[in-house]
Structure 1
Amino acid sequence: MTSPTAQPIPQAATVLLLRDAPDGGAPEIFTITRHASLAFSAGVSAFPGGRIDSADALPPDLWDGTDLAAWGRLLRLEPDAAGKVLAGVVRETFEETGVLLARNRDGTPVSADLLSDWPEDTRQQVEDQEMDFGALLAEHALRPDPSGLRPLSRWITPEGPPRRYDTYFFAAALPEGQLPGTLSFEGIASRWTTAAEALADFQAGRHRLMPPTWAQFRALLPAQSVADALAQAGTIETVQPTVVAGSPRQIIGFTDAEDYALELAAGWPPSEE
């Protein structure tokens, strides 16, 4: 009997928005607590992002000034595919937080005043695909701006679960003058936290972290500023963990997987604080 043809794993992209702490300590990272009713990663703390879709095939002129061939080499993708990943992380960040990683045609950053003048339902219309994201940018003479993005890693969901994703993780400084706004329906809460605080909350059971999220926080522990964190990024490592048979919560095949399992066990069941 011929086995069915394997379906391609959907691509996704997510971003760690960073800002320097007011006291000059370790950089803070924006996280979202995902709604408990979601079909994927319900109830966990995560970063803004989501699935790459057809809306991310932007017209070529919107990439003027961006070297998609260079990005393709960095992400190990064809230039057009790299463009879709970059557009996806810009679009998803805008949909989920209102932060727009974009610039004007002259290269200057998008104005926070311009964004505040847009109708309140603009983000929702983009998310519902009632408004084309590329058309929105073009209407306001904007370009997606991936220049501030730094690739961190690429994680592919283990075999077994019905929903799998091939996800690219990026870091980026929060654009000057912009702040995350009202969350989309996917988020029930948000916060700025340092890597050390996020990991401590995970160990105590106060916040749930999936292995990729935990690994990004772990990698950022040495960073003492946003500039430091961005300087450490830039090399894509593909991680494809596996689930231990008979133990769905035990995931192996990534750096420090044993530490993750120990910290997960220490915080389970979750704290009621």
Structure 2
Amino acid sequence: MSATNGQWYPPEWPERIRALASGELTAVTPRRAATVLLLRDGTAGPEVHMLRRRTSMAFAGGVYAYPGGGVDVRDERPVGWAGPSRADWARWLGTDEPAAQAIVCAAVRETFEEAGVLLAGSSPGTVVEDTTGEDWEADRAALVARELSFADFLSRRGLLLRSDLLAPWDRWITPEFEPRRYDTWFFAAVLPRGQRTRDVSTEADRTVWIRPAEAAAGHDRGELTMMPPTIATLRRLQPYASAAEVLAAAADRELTPVLAVAELRDDGIVLSWPGNDEFTTHIPGGPGAPRSSPDPAPSPAAAPAPSPSAPAEGTGA
């Protein structure tokens, strides 16, 4: 990666931005995805569960992120459902009902796959209290391997997806000039009582519970590598004194998609994310500028571990 104005960007971005503007590059359709800001209350306020993606990952390798991933086509299959209706979720997420169900299912499924936490219960007022047994782990592994659909998993265990345990928080779309693109809905959720996160994701090499302000400070010091959506959502969590306050605040949030805008100027490219001025970046070099060989950025894998405010393994409040 290269750096300018304090912001990191992949060295191929200028070339791809110009190719997109000239019509030489066609933007790929973003894949729907969901990610969950899993919260718990700590002694100094709410903490969020984060994982560091392995550097070998094709997308966002080496960065700190939340549990999440792409929608599985089978996430649209009928599932036992508790909480707001699919029609309500479609209105909140700005989609049709099948897509809304798939996005919510992906959020719950990916949280179980990557953190071992399941937002489901045997009835509308209950939630699973322990998912650490060998049988649960076998099901989790089967979901990761796509040998088992989430609908079949819930049905076999007699569980309802607790959509009321999720709160819509944000929506970001990968820039049009990126080869891998995602239309990602962010949700907030509280760690259910009796459950604990587990370091089970094959896509991560480190997990941590950390206060949003502490994680943001680590990013600002250059110790924790994060993408704009992650640091932006962390900063928006900072004003709240409890996980419950975060969920309450979600009711007033608008999910207007955030999509990067690239402006080509004579002296280079200005890249901005509407509503998120801290990420505005000026990439020097006119339209005919050759691709430079930027100084290498520090390897994300070499970044020091965060100083967590609590162990990665935790139980619900």
TM bin (shorter chain)? 0.7 to 0.9
The residue number in structure 2 matching 1:87 is 105
Q: 1:110 aligns with which of 128, 133, 142?
A: 128
Deviation at 1:186, TM superposition (A): 0.4
Amino acid of the structure 2 residue aligned with 1:10: R
Q: TM-score, normalised by structure 1?
A: 0.87
Q: Secondary structure at the match of 1:170?
A: strand
The residue number in structure 2 matching 1:8 is 29
The residue number in structure 1 matching 2:197 is 180
The 5-angstrom pairing of residues 36-55 of structure 1 reads 36-55=55-74
Q: TM-score, normalised by structure 2?
A: 0.75
Matched-pair contact (CA < 8 Å) for 1:34–1:42? yes
Q: Secondary structure at the match of 2:239?
A: coil
With over 3 angstroms needed to count, the CA separation of the structure-2 counterparts of 1:104 and 1:218, relative to structure 1, is same
The residue number in structure 2 matching 1:265 is none
In terms of Rg, which structure is larger?
A: 2
The residue number in structure 2 matching 1:240 is 259
The 5-angstrom pairing of residues 13-92 of structure 1 reads 13-21=34-42, 23=43, 25-59=44-78, 62-63=80-81, 66-92=84-110
Distance in 1 separating the partners of 2:129 and 2:41: 21
Q: 2:228 aligns with which of 186, 206, 211?
A: 211
Query: Which is further off, 28-37 or 227-236?
Result: 227-236
After superposition, what is the alpha-carbon deviation per residue over 1:103-160, rounded to whole angstroms, capped at 9, x for unaligned?
Answer: 1135311231x65252533212111111222111111110111101111111011111
Deviation at 1:5, TM superposition (A): 8.5
The residue number in structure 2 matching 1:171 is 188
Amino acid of the structure 2 residue aligned with 1:42: G
Matched-pair contact (CA < 8 Å) for 1:95–1:127? yes
Higher strand content, 1 or 2:
2
Matched-pair contact (CA < 8 Å) for 1:72–1:82? yes
Q: Secondary structure at the match of 2:45?
A: coil
Distance in 2 separating the partners of 1:248 and 1:124: 47
Distance in 2 separating the partners of 1:183 and 1:44: 17
The residue number in structure 2 matching 1:189 is 206
Distance in 2 separating the partners of 1:11 and 1:238: 12
After superposition, what is the alpha-carbon deviation per residue over 1:143-187, rounded to whole angstroms, capped at 9, x for unaligned?
Answer: 111101111111011111100100000000011111111321100
Q: Secondary structure at the match of 2:175?
A: coil
Amino acid of the structure 2 residue aligned with 1:134: A
The residue number in structure 2 matching 1:227 is 244
Query: Which is further off, 237-246 or 143-152?
Result: 237-246
How many residues matched? 263
Give identity over the alignment, percent.
38
Q: Secondary structure at the match of 2:92?
A: helix
Distance in 2 separating the partners of 1:124 and 1:166: 25
Matched-pair contact (CA < 8 Å) for 2:139–2:153? no
Distance in 1 separating the partners of 2:303 and 2:96: 47
Gapped runs of 5+ residues in structure 1? 263-267
Gapped runs of 5+ residues in structure 2? 1-22, 283-296, 305-317
Q: 2:152 aligns with which of 126, 135, 140?
A: 135
Q: 1:149 aligns with which of 166, 170, 175?
A: 166
Matched-pair contact (CA < 8 Å) for 2:82–2:163? no
* 1:202 partnered with 2:219: yes
Q: Name the Cα RMSD after superposition.
A: 2.8
Deviation at 1:52, TM superposition (A): 0.4
With over 3 angstroms needed to count, the CA separation of the structure-2 counterparts of 1:49 and 1:33, relative to structure 1, is same
With over 3 angstroms needed to count, the CA separation of the structure-2 counterparts of 1:19 and 1:72, relative to structure 1, is same
Deviation at 1:17, TM superposition (A): 0.3
Distance in 1 separating the partners of 2:229 and 2:242: 22
The residue number in structure 2 matching 1:121 is 138
Distance in 2 separating the partners of 1:86 and 1:142: 15
Matched-pair contact (CA < 8 Å) for 1:158–1:243? no
